[in-house]
Every structure is written in structure tokens, then in C-alpha cells.
């Protein structure tokens, strides 16, 4: 297992920036949490790589959340990436998942949602509908072009427990060669999925752009981490409401919640619920279910 790597780069003589990522350990951690069907695992990996690339372009402290919604066999795909380079992902699905397109899996009412949730200040959310023939890369490119007014090209690959991605963006206020954007896009287009998955990221950059003036920054190391906690689950129960929680207590004798991202379980008995709704928060007890 290799270390996950994310690198940012700039073209000195062109108004273009880029990011390249290779996910190994973090992607395998996500796959280990659930028995995802192969096609769904691939789309999760592609979305994880895309989310990591987009997060690297942001200049804020907080979380980027990407969601794909539908009413088909796959109801939800979610990836969350923090400014600390942590990542988590999950999916909800029903029944058998055939090896078909993303649009076919999502069914009707397909939509892509991107949320920027800063540690301080209000969250921003954008939503776009999905076309029948769009891949994950197509969805991101379309969203960035029409919602953020940023020309973006994206290449994604996933297989054998690895996910990788390459992204280039045309900066809105740039300098240098006005034809560079098209040239760089043509060079990047020659990348193959095998090269992205098998080669070190700097070897990929050299293979693609060795005749360009490219400045590469210090690499970052994305890693899997879940932000769930007993306090967060308690807050969710408060939002559900006392009546519904009491109904579960009466039926089952306790309220047990399992995090869909990491699989960690949280147990709330009658005393816990009484304290929670009395405004005393959650007990710091060691009764999490693993």
C-alpha cells in the first residue's frame, strides 16, 4: 500500500493551474467499511479523487461536500473532504447493482450537489441536474463551468483499490500564452487510466508536460478520517425530536445509531436520552459499539 499523494502545480508561462492525486490507503479504508458492488466502488473512487482535487483549489478552512442524488438503485453518493486533507465517503443503494452508467444507477431526479461548509461563516450550496450520458468527470466539469464560471478539465481513474485524478483549470485572471489552455488540455488528454493508477504522480506530470514550464508545490497527504462523534449523533437525535426518539425507546429499549461513513456505533439508553433532552448533553461514557 502506497502513501496517498496530492500535488498542486502551476504553469509559469500560462494562466493555468492544476492538481493531481493518487488515493490508496484512504480509498481502501472507505471500501473496507461496506461491501460495495464493483461498479459502485468505482464511482465512489472517482468521486473521492474529484473531491480531493477540488478541495485543493479552495482557500478556506472547512469542508467540501459532494453529493449525487437519485431515485434509482443508487440513492446517494457522498464524499466529504476537509481543509486538513481528511476524506470520507459512503453510498446508499438497494438490490443488485448492474455494471451500467451512473445515470442509469441514479434513475430519475438525478442531481449533483456541492456544499462548501466553512468552519466560520455560512455554508454555500450549488445544485445542478445531470444529463443521461455524463460521467463523474463530466459532471464536475459542467458544474465548474456553469456554476463557478471556471473552465475545468478533469480525468479520473479507478481500479485495483486505487483512485486517481488529474485536473487543470484556466485561471480567470491570467497572463502568458493565450493558446496555452488548449495546448495543455490536449497534452493532458493523452493520459491513460493505467498511467494515472500505476505511475508516481510526478512521473505523470513529467510525461505530460516536460516541454512546459511547470512549478510543482510540496505534496499533501490525504487520509481517511471520520468526523462522527457521540456529540454529533446526540445533536442529530435532538433534531429528530423527542417524540420520535421516545417511540424508538419504547419499541427497542434504546437508540442505537451506526455511522454510515465509518461503521462506528453509538448507544443511547433511557438515561442518556433524558440527559440529552434536558440540555445536559451526552455522557462521556465508553459505550460505543464497534
Look at residues 116, 104, 96, 30 and name the one whose alpha carbon lies nearest to residue 70: 104
pLDDT at 210: 93
The three-class DSSP label of residue 129 is strand
Q: What is the pLDDT of residues 17-53, one digit of tens each?
A: 999 999 999 999 999 999 999 999 999 999 999 999 9
Could you tell me if 200 and 3 are in contact, meaning their C-beta atoms sit under 8 angstroms apart? no
Cell of 91: 453510498
Whether the predicted pLDDT of 99 surpasses 80: yes
Give the phi and the psi of residue 76 in degrees, each rounded to 5.
-160, 135
Lowest-confidence pick of 63-72, 99-108, 259-268, 277-286: 277-286
pLDDT at 230: 92
Sheet holding 124-129, edge to edge: 124-129, 111-118, 62-69, 74-82, 86-93, 223-224
Task: Give 118's contacts (C-beta < 8 A, 6+ positions apart).
Answer: 60, 61, 62
Which of 64-78, 139-153, 175-189 shows the highest mean pLDDT?
64-78
Task: Indicate the pairing of strand 111-118 with strand 124-129.
Answer: antiparallel
pLDDT at 283: 57
Q: Quick one: DSSP state of residue 108?
A: S
Mean pLDDT across 278-282: 71
Q: What is the pLDDT of residues 122-179, one digit of tens each?
A: 999 999 999 888 999 999 999 998 888 889 999 999 999 999 999 999 987 767 777 8
Ordered alpha helix ranges (H), the chain: 25-33, 38-55, 102-106, 136-147, 180-188, 193-198, 201-209, 230-240, 242-252, 270-277
Amino acid at each position: 500500500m502506497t502513501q496517498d499523494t496530492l500535488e498542486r502545480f502551476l504553469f509559469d508561462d500560462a494562466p493555468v493551474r492544476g492538481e493531481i492525486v493518487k488515493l490508496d490507503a484512504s480509498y481502501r479504508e472507505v471500501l473496507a467499511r461496506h461491501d460495495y458492488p464493483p461498479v459502485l466502488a468505482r464511482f465512489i473512487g472517482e468521486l473521492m479523487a474529484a473531491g480531493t482535487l477540488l478541495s485543493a483549489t479552495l482557500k478556506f478552512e472547512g469542508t467540501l461536500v459532494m453529493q449525487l442524488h437519485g431515485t434509482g438503485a443508487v440513492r446517494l453518493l457522498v464524499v466529504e473532504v476537509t481543509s486538513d486533507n481528511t476524506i470520507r465517503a459512503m453510498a446508499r443503494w438497494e438490490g443488485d447493482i448492474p455494471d451500467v452508467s451512473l445515470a442509469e444507477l441514479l434513475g430519475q431526479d438525478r442531481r449533483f450537489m456541492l456544499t462548501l461548509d466553512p468552519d466560520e461563516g455560512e455554508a454555500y450550496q450549488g445544485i445542478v441536474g445531470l444529463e443521461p450520458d455524463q460521467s463523474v468527470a463530466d459532471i464536475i466539469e459542467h458544474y465548474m463551468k456553469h456554476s463557478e464560471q471556471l473552465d475545468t478539465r478533469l480525468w479520473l481513474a479507478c481500479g485495483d483499490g486505487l483512485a486517481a485524478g488529474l485536473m487543470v483549470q484556466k485561471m480567470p485572471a491570467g497572463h502568458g500564452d493565450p493558446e496555452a489552455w488548449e495546448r495543455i488540455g490536449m497534452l493532458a488528454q493523452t493520459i491513460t487510466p493505467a498511467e494515472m493508477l500505476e505511475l508516481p504522480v510526478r512521473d505523470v506530470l513529467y510525461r505530460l508536460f516536460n516541454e512546459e514550464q511547470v512549478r510543482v508545490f510540496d505534496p499533501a497527504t490525504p487520509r481517511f478520517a471520520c468526523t462522527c462523534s457521540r456529540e454529533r449523533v446526540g445533536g442529530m437525535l435532538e433534531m429528530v425530536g423527542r417524540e420520535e426518539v421516545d417511540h424508538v425507546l419504547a419499541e427497542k429499549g434504546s437508540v442505537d445509531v451506526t455511522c454510515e461513513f465509518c461503521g462506528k456505533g453509538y448507544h443511547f439508553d433511557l438515561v442518556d436520552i433524558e440527559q440529552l433532552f434536558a440540555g445536559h448533553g451526552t455522557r462521556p461514557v465508553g459505550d460505543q459499539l464497534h
